[in-house]
Structure 1
């Protein structure tokens, strides 16, 4: 069972054994597979240092050079090659075993932390392009869920960061689609890295932006409201209980600081770039919050600022819905969003591609095969969640995809 199923509106389950007749009603789409000579690496089996996912092509770097091994323990946002088989906390890598499709166990929760005060927003100037200079290339990144080393590897393979984890992409434009925390080992480390890259990209004339995912809403709710009860379709619940059941890690909550809360609270829910409508969730629930991108973003920010627990819970619940763009009505749903907010193609995360395509449990028991982003809904939608938490991959793609 996918964690979001635990607190959602009644609908068909997202995991479990799928019968063949279920696959007949799924949409026909296509995978985008970058040419190996362009990407500098191939889509082969990778290994995991955590057991919940595999390091994304950790042995390969642009140009075919061996990629440095997992990160050593040091300041967030930096890593160095060590070639070892231990994770950043020094824990030995587990032995290979059968693929696990359940979410990793969470750490026992302690008392909820106290609400944190707001801090001033920090603005970084964006250098203007030279006369006649066009914008840099556009990249999009799927759900990370705390897998910092996989993210560093993927960014390095695309040439977006150097071997020390610093921005190296000049005027490139990068969008993260949300869900930075939960399930994986270092959600706060992921947030620190994205904040660092935003500052470094701005100084280089590019930018690194991020969207608010449903896990950001859940994480902020858990930090602010703890075990305060809310009414849900599953009965009385709390943000803290839902966060734990959705893979929340206690060490992330303990390391959450005011500047993290301020940054997360200001993330937009939607954005548009070069005709690509950027969303986290593959749902039409955004339409309930406004008729323009600015209206939707303002509505979500107001929910977070006004500290209304039931309203925030309802927003979290709506943004956990999925699969709006698949099936016979999927194309119409994508068209409705595009006609309302603009753009010619929706780009989203949230729903792991193996769930979206019905291939989450291969018959031979191997991990799901995710060769790249998934284009579907008559080519109006691109799915970017490669299922890093279920032994898929963390996807970074340059747009447009043809």
Structure 2
């Protein structure tokens, strides 16, 4: 089975409400649900801007079970259905591999017409507040709404948080309508935050690895225990949007390729995936990040495929062994609590999915594994929420 969504037959249009998922339920855990503001800012109400983009139901409608099956990424298996266009014809042809990035393109294009109302920090001044943001998956409107609600951007979408520190936990593209727009916004906010004395940083998610592999290797075959496939086929099966690939430019590739796989802030070990696979890449954060960058740079297609497969595993911190898994990562890399995205909270918790099509109940981040782990993927692709939270959570 696959760690994402392995299709055996095409999904018929307008297939109705999603069936109840047969998922394990956590024996313990707690929600963190901060009080909603008295009224949302005009034009940025979550309810008003929540996208219902029709192509974003891959993971949610085809979730394999149990957790022991999450060993391979989705692939195109001979004899089974292959992705097609909306007219039933074969999917778009493979893109030519992107040329190697020019070494001077690290921060992307310049940000124009930006105003920074905040001065640089005084010597010895303490750091600003720390925020983390869960999986976005191309839902740009939801991201703008959530950032504005937290006071991190203004009504025009520019940084307004002064010396705040922001970490995106990865997975910017796929399934949603505007992955490249999300990447452009994060790159813009990184420049604006730095000028204001704060910072906006991001982690490498498994969908970044998949997207970069599709751009670089296209339909070149890879060897997988689920059958011979390609990055491009797996990307399409896992919600890849052709318009994102067509809009991908060298400065996007350069920026994505340099994202770290993990980091520590204020005692929080920040990861994208709820897996212990990071331990296979090094015993320090620097070693892990260097190893992943080396894989992306020059180790070849099979090594990148294996890296993607490992970081697509999930659910390591739930159940009876989950606390020990979290403790192992924390004892190796530092920190007192793991903060991750990747696994949508409704699946992680076994939340109900009503037959009437109501949204999953996601009041906020989910704290579990004896309070050693915080889940931040609110399930925006399944009509959940795009979560932004200030750390620490109690």
TM (norm. structure 1) is 0.75
Deviations 1:245-283 (A, max 9, x none): 010011100110000000000000001000000000000
Structure 2 CA distance for aligned equivalents of residues 339 and 86 of structure 1: 52
Is 1:42 matched up with 2:45? yes
Tell me the SS of whatever aligns to 2:131: strand
Name the CA shift for 1:10/1:231 in 2 (closer, same or farther; >3 Å): farther
TM-fit CA distance, 1:366: 2.1
Task: Provide the C-alpha distance between the structure 1 equivalents of 2:104 and 2:87, rounded to a whole number of angstroms.
Answer: 20
CA contact (8 A) 1:221 1:239 kept: yes
User: What's the secondary structure of 2:306's corresponding residue?
Assistant: helix
Structure 2: state its 5+ residue gaps.
67-72
Tell me, yes or no, if the aligned pair for 2:58 and 2:239 is still in contact at 8 Å: no
How far residue 120 of structure 1 moved from its aligned partner, in angstroms, is: 20
Structure 2 SS opposite 1:346 = strand
CA distance 1:239–1:75, shift in 2 (3 Å): closer
Shift of 1:370: 0.5
Q: Distance in 2 between matches of 1:140 and 1:106?
A: 29
RMSD, aligned CA: 11.4
Q: Do the aligned residues in 1 keep the contact of 2:339 with 2:373 (CA within 8 Å)?
A: yes
Shift of 1:6: 3.0
8 Å contact from structure 1 (residues 55, 149) kept in 2: no
Counterparts in 2 of 1:304 and 1:20: CA distance versus 1, 3 Å: closer
Give deviations 1:273-300, integer Å, cap 9, x for gaps.
0000000000000000000000000000
Q: Which range is displaced more, 346-355 or 362-371?
A: 362-371
Q: Kindly state the Cα deviation for residue 9 of structure 1 after the two structures are TM-superposed.
A: 20
CA shift in 2, pair 1:240/1:88, >3 Å? closer
Q: 1:106 to 1:245 in 2, by over 3 A?
A: farther
How many residues align? The count is 381
SS of the residue aligned with 1:67?
coil
Moved more, 9-18 or 389-398: 9-18
In structure 1, how many angstroms separate the alpha carbons of the residues matched to 2:82 and 2:24?
A: 47
Change in CA separation of 1:215 and 1:22 when aligned onto 2, cut-off 3 Å: closer
Distance 1:380 1:263 in 2: 31
Asked if the contact 1:124–1:202 (Cα under 8 Å) also holds between the matched residues in 2, the reply is: no
- Residue 300 of structure 2 aligns with which residue? 308
CA contact (8 A) 2:134 2:386 kept: yes
SS of the residue corresponding to residue 350 of structure 1 reads coil
Q: TM-score, normalised by structure 2?
A: 0.76
CA distance change for structure 1 residues 121 and 156 in 2, over 3 Å: closer, same or farther?
A: closer
Q: Does the C-alpha gap of structure 1 residues 286 and 90 become closer, same or farther in structure 2, counting only changes over 3 Å?
A: closer
Q: Which residue, out of 209, 216, 228, partners 1:217?
A: 209
Q: 1:7 to 1:215 in 2, by over 3 A?
A: farther
CA contact (8 A) 2:25 2:350 kept: no
Shift of 1:25: 5.3
Task: Name which of structure 1's ranges 36-45 and 274-283 shifts more when overlaid on structure 2.
Answer: 36-45
8 Å CA contact 2:120–2:197 kept in 1: the answer is: yes
**Shift, 1:133, TM fit:** 1.6
8 Å contact 2:17–2:356 — kept in the other structure?
A: no
